[in-house]
Amino acid sequence: MTTVELPDTEATRALGVRLGRVLRAGDLVVLTGGLGAGKTTLTQGLGEGLGVRGPVTSPTFVIARVHPSLTGGPALVHVDAYRLGGVVELDDLDLDADVDASVTVVEWGHGVAERLAAEHLEVMLTGDQTRVATIAAVGERWLREPGLTALASGSHGRDGPG
């Protein structure tokens, strides 16, 4: 488990950029945190790190948005599960078809989205004045990812400074 202190929204976005640089097609990121915790801000950073077409905004009312890559990498599938009634409604979105070819990020996904991929990251955002991101890696893929441990130090992962 990795914990990162996020003193402001820029730090939250920067963490997303660093994380985006270690993500690859087939990765699932499940985001948890209260209203205003920074889930969409983190996802905006992920989009920047992945090099996808934006802007990345909250998909609350459309449930899911696909942001194609501008760099030849994987697309970002951004899902807001807040209004979904559970696993059945998530299944109705047919995300399974996109999971292997894209990076899928599910806001409010805890307890619902983990079944999309056996290996995934769970990011919990907590705190008021200073936020904290707790990143839990599930699965073998993440044991082999050196860039994940660099997140807490502010290093830029395998792609260097951005």
- Give the number of other CB atoms < 10 A from CB of residue 94: 9
Convert the pLDDT of each residue in 9-58 to its tens digit: 999 999 999 999 999 999 999 999 998 899 999 999 999 999 999 889 87
Dig out the tokens for 118 from the structure.
């056996």
Convert the pLDDT of each residue in 99-112 to its tens digit: 678 899 998 877 77
Q: What is the pTM of this model?
A: 0.84
Cβ proximity of 39 and 31 under 8 Å: yes
Convert the pLDDT of each residue in 116-127 to its tens digit: 778 999 999 998
CA pair distance 2, 4, nearest whole angstrom:
7
* Side chain identity, residue 1: M
Strands (E), 68-162: 75-80, 102-107, 120-126, 131-138
Q: For residues 39 and 142, which has the higher predicted lDDT (pLDDT)?
A: 39
The pLDDT assigned to 158 comes to 36
CATH (residue range 2-156): 3.40.50.300
